[in-house]
Structures are given as structure tokens and as C-alpha cells.
A = this chain, B = another copy of it.
Amino acid sequence: MSRKAKVMALDVGPPVRLEPDNAAYFAKCNEKLGFVPNVLSAYAFDNAKLRAFILMADDLMLADSGLSKLEREMIAVAVSSVNHCHYCLTSHGAAVRQRAGDPEMGELIAQNYRAADLPPRQKAMLDFAVKLTEQPDKIEEADRQGLRKAGFGDRDIWDIAAVASFYNMSNRLAAAADIRPNRDYHYMTRQGADAETGATAERRQGPAVAPSSEQAAARRRRSRTG
């Protein structure tokens, strides 16, 4: 693979000195993932831009929601599949494989979610996300009503819309700047779920990396006993 080692195709100057909150976030990435996702490194030329991106991504993917974290990653990947986004398919494909505990599921959503035998709720969720991606001008009340019939509340619909919309943004930024995914993503959670040990499972996480409380607790327990 002859891909240049650069983080992206644009030369926006050297990284700035990170302000404390951003620096802490990078440290947490290194601790939990073993690396800083390249999309964050790409933003590191400007503290304000980096902060806004982190705040939005973390809130969308990790805050409380009627959608599970896996479902939000599924939306990210289904949207990125339509947009053929190399960066997001690689990084969030890894996240779906990990959160689903199923390497094949990640591939399925990245390739064509319609080929996955999804339960009706998740099928409706991805249908909406993909229509919003492909034909945002054609969304009508009937589309929202369809989600309500599939069991989603209006607050959930906001979250489906917000996540799908966010990846329509980041897919395009990654395409425009040619941001390259960290190579590690390619190799994460590639073995069947039953074959993986907790040790390897621990190192996997998408770009929204603020640990949820139970994950952090699990980490503390492990490190005490490990």
C-alpha cells in the first residue's frame, strides 16, 4: 500500500499547541484506542474548530439517547456507504464490528444494509437516514410518520436525523480534504466474536471516544485485577 503517511491531502500548517480540554481528549484517545483518530489530527491546526467537532461528535454518538450506540454507528456507516466515504467506512465500520460483536455486521452495513436481515425498527431507521442522505428535499411528514409507526418517538427521530446529518457533513469534509483513516481501524474486530478475548476487545472504539460510565468502570476493574 503506497498511501502517503500524511493525515490528509491539505497542508493547513502545523498543529497548534492543544488547549487543555483538547489535549485531554487526545490523551484519552491514546489511552483507549492506542492512537488519535486522524480526523482529529486533521482538525488540530485550530483549537476552536477541534473543540466544536469533538463536542458535537461526542454528544451525538455517546450521549443518552433512545438509540443505542450501535444503532448510531449503524447510521454513520449506512450514510457513509451512500457517500462512499473511505475514512468513515473504515473507522465507523470498525465501530459497528466492535459494538455489534460481529465482524460480518460491520461489512453488511458498509456494503448494503438492505442485505442484512435487520429488525423492522432498524430497517426503518436506516431507510430514513439513507433517504435523508440521498434526497433531503423529498423528506415529508409521511417519512417522520413512518418512523413513529416503527416505534420511534420524536426525540429519537431528532437523534436519527442529527446523526445522519452529521455524517453527511463529515463524509464530505473527509472527501474534500482526503483524510486518511488510521491503519489500525482496518484490523480491529476482524475475528468472530467468540474468538476474541477481552484484551483485544478493550482497544476498540470509534472516533467519539469519551468512555461511557460503565465502560470506564469496567476498565478500572480490569486494571485493578490485571
Interface, chain A (partner B; CB < 8 A): 1-4, 9-13, 45, 48-49, 51-53, 55-56, 59, 63, 81, 83-87, 89-90, 102-105, 107-108, 110-112, 114-117, 128, 132-133, 136-141, 144, 154-155, 157-158, 160-162, 164-166, 168-173, 175-178, 180, 183, 186-187, 190-192
In the complex, the answer to whether B9 meets A144 with C-beta atoms within 8 Å is: yes
In the complex, the answer to whether A173 meets B161 with C-beta atoms within 8 Å is: yes
Given contacts A2-B117, A161-B172, A176-B157, contact A86 B105 (CB under 8 A): no
| 5 closest Cβ pairs, A-B complex | A161-B176, A84-B137, A169-B169, A86-B115, A52-B56
Given contacts A161-B172, A162-B49, A172-B165, contact A154 B112 (CB under 8 A): no
Nearest CB of B to A100, in Å? 8
A52-B56, A157-B177 provided; 16 other pairs, C-beta below 8 A?
A: A9-B144, A48-B59, A83-B136, A85-B136, A86-B115, A89-B111, A104-B186, A128-B176, A133-B172, A158-B176, A161-B173, A161-B176, A162-B173, A165-B170, A187-B191, A190-B190
Which residues of the other chain, B, contact A164 by a CB distance below 8 angstroms?
172, 176
Q: How far is the CA of A165 from the CA of B158 in the complex (A)?
A: 19
In the complex, the answer to whether B183 meets A104 with C-beta atoms within 8 Å is: yes
Task: Give the secondary structure class of A's interface.
Answer: helix
Which residues of the other chain, B, contact A176 by a CB distance below 8 angstroms?
128, 132, 136, 139, 144, 157-158, 160-161, 164-165
Q: How far is the CA of A105 from the CA of B83 in the complex (A)?
A: 19
Which residues of the other chain, B, contact A168 by a CB distance below 8 angstroms?
165, 168-169, 172
